[in-house]
Structure 1
Amino acid sequence: MPAKLEGKAVTAPPRPSHTDPVALSSLAEASAARLIARSPETTVTGATLRAQHVRHGDLFAALPGARVHGADFAADAIAAGAAAVLTDEAGAARPAVRDSGLPVLVHDDPRAALGPIAAMIYGNPSAKLAIIGVTGTSGKTTTSYMIESGLAAAGHTTGLIGTVETRIAGERLASAFTTPEAPDLQALLAVMVERGVTHVPMEVSSHALALGRAAGTKFAVGAFTNLSQDHLDFHPDMEDYFQTKALLFDGRSAREVVCVDSEWGRRLVTPETVTVSTTGDADWTASDAHTSLSGEQSFYIHTPDGAKVAATLPMPGTFNIANALVAAACLSAAGVGIDAIVSGLSTVQVPGRMERVDLGQDFTAVVDYSHKPEAVALALDAIKARSDGKVIVVLGCGGDRDTAKRPVMGAEAARRSDLLVVTDDNPRSEDPAAIRAAMLAGAESVPEAERGEVVVIGDRRQAIATAVARAGSGDVVVVAGKGHETGQEIAGVVHPFSDRDELAAAIRSRGVRT
């Protein structure tokens, strides 16, 4: 059961103001679906897989699920005005569908068919946009914001689709998923076309690729950042995780950009691939990186044509230089010049990614979204490299997700911190104490001489307050895991909670005035 938002209603995703009717017979022919209909010329003007979001004239996608079948909600969809149903043989046999009298598209894999069908219904909007898809374990959000900043510097009207938010020509929408469900995505892209958007950086998650959310979408550029342990609650192993990410490079992307700093990236390279590296030979490389006390980096970008261009980036970490190179290569592939690329990188702002909370205190306070072992290690390494003070870390692990990474995250954080406060982070339906215990076991597996002090405080607000109270002049407090998020999911309910706000409140409680 999806989590409830405390005090908030979940709104339907945006749709274009007008769509031309599309005949079911055309959809059946294009998708190789079987059409059960008294009148094959029935038309539809929208699509959704949520009965509560059905509009008059919609195609309702009744998909099989792990616990329930979407066909069980067909009566609600029909009452709301659905004109037809897309489902599998099992769904078509359910009384609510079978006896409805509505036309039914029957497909062996309706989830896989839904993306291309929705794209047809909404006029194939991705063909009218330059969509730049970014996949990888870490860096998708940061790279997408870098790309958007470069596009804006070049004067383009942009959209943005990702973990933090969706933006349409500057208008912000909250994001429910990294990549929206297929009909929602196609409707969103159609809205962007209506509003004059020309270019769209888009995060593409492994879930989206595995579940067909990105099916039916044409990408002008597809990019790969990196791969490390994550989502092994969804994927059986790392190889399956990688092969799912590789689907972005199965021909759906006209141009391909790949960071080759790992063997995973090198496996994706073809003769046409544009390569990026911070450590070796590639089409796009960097050199002479320096980090200021404020965390800003300066470095040189080496382009495929041999140019050496000075660049700055307002965030620390070698991994962010890798993200910047991927962004630069994507922008170049999309026709953006190097001057706009450098300008965009110098001004990019990424919510919850190495984001400083500065209220004039004499220590550094940072909120970061890192919630995977490698991301935690890289973030803390970047912070330690520019700080002589103590590093104090607040970190938890989410429930109902990859359990194997919990002790690893505890160990990585303990090894790099002078004080690690193990706390809660979206326990969801799990026992928070059990999650904390797994992290603590990992932290305590690090030899005592190689780790800092480790304490456990389940209440995340109190954990942040304790970290701030323990900070001295010149120290760094890092609150990791949630970043931009504004909710804490506990037992199926999302309670309002912001690491940024809590960190600021804890700093103020020390007497710092703004």
Structure 2
Amino acid sequence: MQLENILAALEQPPIHIYKADQLNTHADITAIAYDSRKLTSGGLFIAVPGTHTDGRLYLKDAARKGAVAALGAPLTEEQKQDLPLPYIEVADVLTALANVSCAFYDYPASKLCTIGVTGTDGKTTVSNLISAILDTAGLRSGLMTTANFKISGQEWDNATRQSTLEAPEIQQFLKRMLEAQVTHAVIESTSHGLELKRVHGCQFDVGVVTNITHEHLDFHKTIENYRRAKARLFEMLDPERDKGLGCRSVAVLNRDDVSYEILKPYCRVPILDYGIDTPAAIRAVDLDLRANGTSFRVLLPDGEIMIETPLIGRFNVSNCLAAIAVAYSQGIAPEVIARTLKTVKGVSGRMEHIDEGQPFTVIVDYAHTPDSLGKVLSILRPLTSGKLMVVFGSAGERDLQKRPLMGKIAAQMTDFFVITDEDPREEDREKILEEIAVGAESTGKKRGTDFLCIADRTEAIATAFAHAEPGDTVLLAGKGHEQSIIIGREKLPWDDRRVAREQLQQFNDKKASCTPIS
């Protein structure tokens, strides 16, 4: 695509173009990159200021790679000196990045029914449930979530450590979906993804929220800002948009959650609400919560359906309702919805059992917020005949306010726990553990008796297993599906499930060697 066509997609015209006399607007742009290391000759470099570095520092590198031009945030006086290539200065570089990405990939979202899923907890599960129902209905779905990607039945893990990809990757992925004849794209839309304009241009037809609790205040600073970021998804739903694809614009809100009243004013399209405790349009009644599955009756605006699912826990009833509401809004038959939920598999790293023949239960789950940790522990408590234990931490350079809350919840809801690394990043790992421990100690729990602080996650898991006895449950929380742990700036290979299996095998071997021969 020619550069002039890409620049025409900008919502706001450039502030200034430096070295305009050297800018060839008829040049064919071969790629868009915000990382100079990924540039190829003929590419357009987007210079984005970031948390750890600044794209404007890499203009010479971009020029060496053969970039036609750079587009980016306003330059400092020093940066204006000795520019190595034409520079297109814009006021809002993140919106501009989304604009040029949409144009470069020929606006794929305009040819897809796009569904955005946001919320603090449950986004990945709801996204996967929606995709599964769409597939059962004979539609072709694509999926982008924290845990996994999918295009027309082909599924693979998300190893990027990004819940919502950057704008160029999202638009490229949507383009791939189109090429694979996908009709419906389900996009997990985090508060970061919404605030940083990563999903800008996705032309959402459906917006879904799970809940809004305490998370990411390191980035958003206040709970009001966090909620406002979530609301952006619903502002993007346009009642005048008609893609000619049969998509029905709708906002799916959780009537049981505080987010309902918060988000309602931002919705210009029809609202379809769901709930358990409130008289919502899509409502679950007669819940039967079991250790191996769940059943409930769903009251619809024009009928009802019986749901039987292997997913466990009250919060998964709410997740199912969100997916049911989306499917119902798009005219999918209730029997198709019920058939899907009866056989649906859980998401990797969500309430996943690890069984190596040990005499106690081990569960891996992604719960990394106070609300999600409390919900998972509340499910496991009645299913545990012995002690309930948890190994967990809190990410470095992330929401500091939730750390003592996590410690308090573990103290109140378990019999023993180990506080450990999650992703310390460049923070002092011991300091993070101490801040979590403050919450535990505020309830009267004593370190060394009721809980331990062990930074090394492998040692922490092994220690929890050593304390476990028959009938106990050990929850490994916070990492779930993730394939790495970030210490400093280094992303090291890590998988809670793999480490748990290795430690359980050692546990079993040690136990066998200590068993006397009769």
Identify the match of residue 258 of structure 1 among 240, 253, 271.
253
1:154 paired to 2:110: no
Q: Which has the higher contact order (CA 8 A, sep 6+)?
A: 1
Identify the match of residue 58 of structure 1 among 3, 28, 43.
43
Q: 1:93 to 1:85 in 2, by over 3 A?
A: farther
1:60-139 correspondence to structure 2 within 5 Å:
60-66=45-51, 68-90=53-75, 94-95=79-80, 98-100=83-85, 102=86, 104-139=87-122
Partner of 1:479: 476
Partner of 2:408: 411
TM-score by length of 2: 0.88
1:336 paired to 2:332: yes
Q: C-alpha offsets along residues 448-491 of structure 1, whole Å, 9 cap, x if unaligned?
A: 59xx9222222211221222222222221111111111212212
8 Å CA contact 1:70–1:91 kept in 2: the answer is no
Q: 1:504 to 1:29 in 2, by over 3 A?
A: closer
Partner of 1:140: 123
Query: Using the alignment, how far apart are the partners of 1:430 and 1:341 within structure 2?
Result: 45
Partner of 2:166: 181
| Contiguous gaps of at least 5 residues in structure 2 | 239-248, 512-518
1:28-67 correspondence to structure 2 within 5 Å:
28=8, 30-34=10-14, 36=17, 37-38=20-21, 39-66=24-51
Give the 3-state SS of the residue equivalent to 2:32 in structure 1: strand
8 Å CA contact 1:289–1:297 kept in 2: the answer is yes
After TM superposition, give the deviation of residue 164 of structure 1 in Å: 1.4
1:235 paired to 2:220: yes
Query: Using the alignment, how far apart are the partners of 2:486 and 2:431 within structure 1?
Result: 16
| Identical amino acids, percent of aligned pairs | 34
Q: 1:177 to 1:26 in 2, by over 3 A?
A: closer
Partner of 1:308: 304
After TM superposition, give the deviation of residue 74 of structure 1 in Å: 1.9
Q: C-alpha offsets along residues 326-362 of structure 1, whole Å, 9 cap, x if unaligned?
A: 1111122234322222222231320111111123433
After TM superposition, give the deviation of residue 127 of structure 1 in Å: 1.1
Q: 1:328 to 1:218 in 2, by over 3 A?
A: same
| Contiguous gaps of at least 5 residues in structure 1 | 1-20
8 Å CA contact 2:253–2:272 kept in 1: the answer is yes
Q: C-alpha offsets along residues 359-393 of structure 1, whole Å, 9 cap, x if unaligned?
A: 34332210011011111111101111333322111
Give the 3-state SS of the residue equivalent to 2:400 in structure 1: coil
Q: 1:49 to 1:97 in 2, by over 3 A?
A: farther
| Count of aligned pairs between the two proteins | 487
Query: Using the alignment, how far apart are the partners of 1:166 and 1:93 within structure 2?
Result: 42
Q: 1:276 to 1:93 in 2, by over 3 A?
A: farther
Per mean C-alpha deviation after superposition, the further-off stretch among 222-231 and 78-87 is 78-87
TM-score by length of 1: 0.89
Query: Using the alignment, how far apart are the partners of 2:77 and 2:323 within structure 1?
Result: 45
Q: 1:45 to 1:227 in 2, by over 3 A?
A: same
8 Å CA contact 2:36–2:61 kept in 1: the answer is yes
Q: 1:398 to 1:67 in 2, by over 3 A?
A: closer
8 Å CA contact 1:116–1:216 kept in 2: the answer is yes
8 Å CA contact 2:44–2:70 kept in 1: the answer is yes
8 Å CA contact 1:221–1:334 kept in 2: the answer is no
Q: 1:336 to 1:97 in 2, by over 3 A?
A: farther
Report the AA paired with residue 455 of structure 1.
L
Q: 1:165 to 1:81 in 2, by over 3 A?
A: farther
After TM superposition, give the deviation of residue 93 of structure 1 in Å: 7.7
After TM superposition, give the deviation of residue 416 of structure 1 in Å: 0.5
Identify the match of residue 462 of structure 1 among 459, 462, 474.
459
Partner of 1:249: 234
8 Å CA contact 2:117–2:189 kept in 1: the answer is yes
Partner of 1:275: 273
Partner of 2:432: 435
Partner of 1:8: none
1:453 paired to 2:436: no
